[in-house]
Structure 1
Amino acid sequence: MAHLKEGRIRQQLIAFQQRFPYLSLAQLLEYFAVFGGREEGVHFEFFEDLEQSVERIYGRKYARSREWIRPSYLLEEPYRRLLIAVAKGDGKLHNVLRRARLDERTGGRLIDELVCLGVLRFEESREAPLHSRPGRWLPRELRRYRIQDKLRFRRPFDRFWFGFVAPFAGDLERGKTQRFMEGYRQHRDRAFSLLFEQLSAELLELHFAGEDPLSSLGSYWDLHNEFDLLVLTESGELILGECKYKGRPVCAKELHKLREKAKVSGLKVSRYALFSLSGFSRELRERRQGDLLLFELEDFRRLLEAG
């Protein structure tokens, strides 16, 4: 079961909004994904957009942003390599260790230290173990399957720094920002998507607080699929969610795909929740009833009002 108070992000968002009250709600979410948890010492120029702020603060002033990493030895190996692996991968524990080229003993020791420092946290898998039936063995490929917990950063700033800045440290130390900015432009949605999922989970928690409080929330992954959100209410309802940070308005096709994935994973879903900052198609809006919940940009303002 995912603990409701584990990895709380709403209070960080509120603190960020108090530091930069002039940002619109859409800007707030985007800037928070890049600088969240690092309010002190950061300022934005009036005529800059987010991309220009990223280039100035992390690119041209790289040496200063490097000093924000505490403790400073996280910039050294093998910590740096491990944190980059967490930031750039899917977060699954064994995948992280393989990507960071660390054995389980060494990697486990480093991860425990980073958790104690408050840099990382665990998100536990909620997948049920595979069991063989009497007289039948699991296929060989399933016998090798390992359920994995995931590693998450506690602050958006740390995730962005190790996912986007640290891999180009050599260039940035020499004053070269081109490859760093190309990487940012190419993969920028990755910086925002996971944070959007976390904020969506907490918005869903607020939505059900008075009606049927949640007993478990977070993402969900199993042998077959990964889902942005799976939450359980105290009454036993299972709500499955999909989060679309950018792009066109979400259409009914996304709901159909989510239903099909739920069938493959054998999930008995009570309701579906879709989150989109670009809105929804007319067809979906007309179907918003009973087992379908829709949340868009203005709904996220509730996170700031519930501090």
Structure 2
Amino acid sequence: MLSQTQPLAKQFQIFYKEHTPKTLEDAIEKFAIFGGVGWGDIDTSKPSYELIKKLILDDYAYIRNDVNEITSGAPLYHALLSAIAMGDGKTHASYKRAKLDKEVGDKAVTELVERGIIYVEKPKKEFTSWAENEQLDNKLYFTTPFLRFWFAFVSPLFKGIRDKDYTEVKKRWQNREAEFANLIFTQLSYALLQESFKEEEKIKEISEYWDKKIALDIYAKTVSGKTIVGSTKYTNAKVKKSELSRLQELCEKAGIDADIFVIVAKKGFSSELKALKGERVRLYTLKNFKILG
């Protein structure tokens, strides 16, 4: 059922070819829910909740059995996976939400990684002295978009779903729908940038950046040693010049010497920001994601 062993960009490529979405916005938003699973044909132009009800909630018992085959159905695993799906993925916060102590949480993470359900990202902070070397949390991410959706909206609310009462699921989805695709948009942006840069300045690593003071959506290193820093904005507003200023200020605060700034936006950019586009400032919109399809 699940293709969690494949890279996210490959999962998106398969999803895009199987369902031929009419828009890239539809492609990303539906991929954030259904990605990594073979569903047959999906009309991605339909409202998300309509598809969730038909394909997931109405078929809950069957899908639950498939998911339990992967997770072993262990309540401890499910509690942690729901905590990861509903939060920012940081280990301490996830353990706290799941009511697990560190030793139990660490062991569960190791087992879930071995099962191919999640993966671990370590912070990219480069410490200049031992005194600075405070413990920073790792972050935990799902290997498959569908599993993230399942453990955010289905597994924690299974009693109502089992009884064909979808009220709580619908309410939770309505509250979180607007921002649910943000993470997938950011993760697909990594693949977009790797493709976009490969002819000029190959990227050897790319992920988020976080330390005690700041967080960046995009932090990348090229083979030649250049540092790329950026942000992703999955909103319906055009991104303004102030976003570039914000990135520059964050880099200064963290002591990061950025060679190139990138901003990936759903709805494009203000004229003022577009005027700054060049070697050091790269701007990308939804249309650029076609190279991943």
Taking structure 2 as the reference length, what is the TM-score of the superposition?
0.91
Shift of 1:46: 8.2
Deviation of the 1:84 alpha carbon: 0.6
The equivalent position to 2:105 in structure 1, one of 104, 107, 131, is 107
CA-based RMSD: 2.2
Pairs within 5 Å for 1:60-71: 60-71=58-69
Partner of 1:254: 243
1:124-163 correspondence runs (5 A): 124-129=122-127, 131=129, 145-163=134-152
Is 1:263 the counterpart of 2:261? The answer is: no
Does 2:230 correspond to 1:232? Answer: no
- Whole-Å Cα distance in 1 between the matches of residues 281 and 231 of structure 2? 11
2:202 to 189, 194, 213: 213
* 2:160 aligned partner, one-letter code: D
- List runs of 5+ in structure 2 lacking aligned partners: none
The residue that corresponds to 2:33 in the other structure is 34
Q: Is the 8 A contact 1:89 1:96 kept in 2?
A: yes
Q: 1:74 to 1:206 in 2, by over 3 A?
A: same
For residues 189 and 8 of structure 1, do their structure 2 counterparts lie closer, same or farther at Cα, with a shift above 3 Å needed?
A: farther
Q: Is the 8 A contact 1:91 1:151 kept in 2?
A: yes
In 2, Cα distance between equivalents of 1:67 and 1:249: 43
Where 1:69 maps in the other structure, the secondary structure is: helix
Which of 83, 86, 90 matches 1:85?
A: 83
Structure 2 residue aligned with 1:56: 54
Q: Is the 8 A contact 1:88 1:163 kept in 2?
A: yes
Residues 59 and 180 in structure 1, CA contact (< 8 A), matched pair in contact too = no
| 3-state DSSP of counterpart to 1:267 | coil
- In the TM superposition, what is the alpha-carbon distance from 1:43 to its structure 2 partner? 4.2
Compute the displacement of 1:87 (Å). Answer: 0.9
Query: Cα offset for 1:194?
Result: 0.9
Please give the TM-score of this superposition, normalised by the length of structure 1.
0.87
Deviation >6 Å, runs of 4+: none
Unpaired runs of at least 5, structure 1 = 1-5, 133-137
Q: In 2, Cα distance between the equivalents of 1:70 and 1:42?
A: 21
Displacement, 1:99?
1.8
1:3-18 alignment runs, 5 A limit: 8-18=7-17
3-state SS of paired residue (2:53): helix
Cα-to-partner distance string for 1:188-210 (whole Å, 9 max, x where unaligned): 24421111111101111111111
User: In the alignment, residue 116 of structure 1 is paired with which amino acid?
Assistant: E
Give 2:233's aligned residue. Answer: 244
